[in-house]
Each structure stands twice: as structure tokens, then as C-alpha cells.
Amino acid sequence: MGRRSQRRSVLMVCVGNLCRSPIAEAVMRDVVQKAGLQGEWHVESAGIEGWHCGCRPDERALNVLARNNIEYYSHARVLTPGDFLKFDYIFGMDRSNLAALKRMAPDYATAKVLLLGDFGLKPDDRIIEDPYYDIGEASFDKIYQKCKIACQNFLKQARKNEIK
């Protein structure tokens, strides 16, 4: 059985796995489910730093997901070297995440390390900014909207095998 017929996997990554990557994980799972492809895709999230390991996502992230009828049950975890073999695609939310992922990737890594915002977002809007220190939920809503567009576009391109 060739690699293309196997289940594919995505790991969403931000600094602490508390705000952006849990939203991206939940949105990607929702996009996959709505496409009827949940048996073909595995989606998780992780943080570059382990500050929040075992914690639930930021309450504002959970509120935004709930308003969009998306449930989230996972807890924060830290990225491991094994993730670069386990996952087909690892997405950073901003350029700093992307640079850290590339530095952390072992020589034997097989995952494609990409910027989530590169999928369908306008050039000036591709960065999914960290909302942790913001007041309120407006920035979390923006993250949700960006993730929805990017995840839909990524899945469309991945299904056509257009991702290099």
C-alpha cells in the first residue's frame, strides 16, 4: 500500500498550544468532518514551548469555537522530535513559529513544515497573530475566520496533491 492511500496527518503549532493552534486544530477537524473525510485525516496541535502542557485552551478560544458549534477536548502538549516523522504536515501560525519549527526539525524529518496562512489568505493577512495578551475575544474571532479559510484551502489543495 503506497503512502498516498494511507491516512494523512496534520499538526497545528503555535508557541504555547493555548490559543491559535487549538483553534486551527478544531477548525481543521471540522473542515475534514464536513467534507466526510474524517477517516482519511488525523489532526492534532502542539506548542513549541511547554509552558501550558496539560492545560485546556484559553477560555476565549473555547468560547469562539463554541459559538461556531465546534467542540474541543484536547489539552496542550509540547512538540516532540517524533512529530516530524509522525505527521505529514506541520503548520506554524506565524513566521517566528515557522523559523522555530525549521530549527527544531531533526535531519531525518519527513513532515512538510508550512505556514498555515499561505493557504488562501491574502499576502498581507497570512500571519495568524498571537492573541494571548489581547483583551476580549475579537482577535480570537479573526483567528477562527483565518483558520477556516486556510484549512478549507489546504484540504482542497491536498486532495488534488498540489502541495509541494
Contact residues for 47 (Cβ-Cβ < 8 A; gap 6+): 13, 14, 15, 16, 17, 18, 21, 53, 76, 77, 78, 79
For residue 7, the Cα-to-chain-centroid distance in whole angstroms is 17
The catalytic residues are: 14, 20, 130
Instruction: Measure the CA–CA gap between 157 and 164, rounded to whole angstroms.
Output: 10
DSSP state of 13: E
Spatial neighbors of 7 by CB under 8 A, at least 6 apart, are 39, 40, 41, 42
Residue 130 in contact with residue 143, Cβ under 8 Å?
Answer: no
